[in-house]
Amino acid sequence: MDKFIVEGGYRLKGRVNLSGSKNAALPIMAATLLTDKECVLNNIPHLNDTLVMNKLVNILGGKVSFEGNTVRALNKTIKEFKAPYDLVKTMRASVYVMGALLGRYNKAEVAMPGGCIIGERPINLHLMGFEKLGAKIVIEHGYIKAKAKKLRGADIYLDTVSVGATANILMAGIYAQGQTIIRNAAQEPHIVDLCNFLNKLGARIKGQGTNTITLQGVTSLKGGTYNVISDYIEAGTFMVASAITNGKIELVNAPLDNIEAVKDNLIDTGSEVKRVKKNLLVKGLAKPRPSKIDTAPYPGFPTDMQAQWMALMSVAGGTSIVNETIWEKRFMHVPELNRMGADITTKGNTAVIKGVKGLSGAPVMVSDLRAGASLVLAGLRAKGTTEISRVYHLDRGYEKIEKKLEALGAKIRRFK
């Protein structure tokens, strides 16, 4: 299993190009199953997760190629309607093919995704939405089977804001007769991107980016070429990399409208963040001020930036608080940060982070994607060498992270 060896203490400087958004690319790749015409998707990040989605669509009978950062999909006839356990267990976003298959063929079968390290991750809201559209759901032998004679538009309220349920219901409702309304919908930039992609193919979706999304069923979709948005979580991670190393990093073509929450908190804690044309320049400082954050659905502080933020607050000049409101078990990075000299205690979904003078390099282990990013950031700041194992988690969601950091002056190497 690959490892990263990070030698800390270097200030990062320079420009970084951001990759396409993983969490936009995954539902958009699944959504190509909704049309029999060719879709060309640009700016798809080359990651383990996007490779799994590529494989899954091909297993279902689609014809998808993935070269460089371009995916070409021509999913004329789908022969398989079952997303197998072997793939679903490696990537929960596989569940997105359910909405797409149900939407186009009125049937789908997906292995029941289990819980994962950050929480239980139920999909009851996805299934409730499918049922409201007219599907019958049966759970048998570890598989969820959805079937409908005909899907009809419905008024659907999500009692918890869910990215996955919003995306899945949208895909399932594309050809449903009449109007579908999703209330308390997720407003994340990746949901907006999925809607924009579907509209480009001829869907009739309105209200994306607000908490009420409306779609009018259509009878066919075209093909099209689409450029996926930049990854605002990758952007946030590099912003924190600049802050934590007292660096000066310019994010090229930054998703300026999507990173307000991280930007505001960085400014509040003393970093300088300014727009330079289409780029964003972030200047760190030796000792950030402490902060209090609560994670929340977009436009709140993203749970996917919580672990990285905690690395930064571990060297702040005072005590910080983090309340994790989305994922009940997303503190797996805490004991690892503490091994590096951080002083963090948790109780329930709250973490109290007492800023320490400095971190010291140590062997640490990655438990999940963003925890991995947090350990890399801590390693960049720490005195001495940090050996980070299980970096395959990082490879699921950060494209060439070590190469990008190296180009900014970090001493980080991958060992096979």
- The footprint of ligand EPZ (CB under 6 A) covers 23, 26, 93, 119, 121-126, 160, 162-165, 186, 303-304, 326, 369-370, 397
Residue 103 or residue 247: which is nearer to ligand EPZ going by CB? 103
Q: Three-state DSSP class for 31?
A: helix
Residue 186 or residue 215: which is nearer to ligand EPZ going by CB? 186
- Distance set, CA 359 to CA 66, 317, 378, 405 (Å): 41, 13, 7, 19
Among 17, 42, 65, 116, the one annotated catalytic: 116
- Report which secondary-structure segment, H or E, holds 55: helix 48-59
CB of residue 319 vs ligand EPZ: minimum separation in angstroms?
26
Query: Does residue 299 have a cis peptide bond before it, meaning omega lies within 30 degrees of 0?
Result: yes
- Report which secondary-structure segment, H or E, holds 179: strand 179-183
- CA 206 to CA 198: how far, in whole Å? 11
Residue 126 or residue 283: which is nearer to ligand EPZ going by CB? 126
Closest CA to 196 of 207, 212, 182, 180: 207
- CA 54 to CA 122: how far, in whole Å? 24
Residue 51 or residue 281: which is nearer to ligand EPZ going by CB? 51
Q: Tell me, yes or no, if 116 is annotated catalytic.
A: yes
- Distance set, CA 388 to CA 106, 153, 308, 325, 367 (Å): 45, 49, 15, 27, 11
CB of residue 30 vs ligand EPZ: minimum separation in angstroms?
10
Residue 26 or residue 215: which is nearer to ligand EPZ going by CB? 26
Query: Could you say which DSSP state residue 208 is in?
Result: B
CB of residue 176 vs ligand EPZ: minimum separation in angstroms?
19
Residue nearest to ligand EPZ (CB): 164
- Distance set, CA 128 to CA 106, 136, 165, 188, 223 (Å): 16, 10, 9, 21, 29
CB of residue 372 vs ligand EPZ: minimum separation in angstroms?
10
- Cα 52 from chain centroid (whole Å): 15
Residue 362 or residue 375: which is nearer to ligand EPZ going by CB? 375
- CA 181 to CA 175: how far, in whole Å? 14
CB of residue 191 vs ligand EPZ: minimum separation in angstroms?
9
Query: Phi and psi for 52 in degrees, rounded to 5?
Result: -65, -40
Q: How many other C-beta atoms can be found within 10 angstroms of the C-beta atom of residue 122?
A: 13
CB of residue 291 vs ligand EPZ: minimum separation in angstroms?
20
**Straight-line distance from the first to the last Cα atom of the chain, in angstroms, rounded to the nearest whole number:** 6
CB of residue 335 vs ligand EPZ: minimum separation in angstroms?
19
Residue 208 forms beta bridges with which residues?
Answer: 210
Amino acid (1-letter code) at residue 296: A
Residue 109 or residue 368: which is nearer to ligand EPZ going by CB? 368
Give catalytic residues, as residue numbers: 116
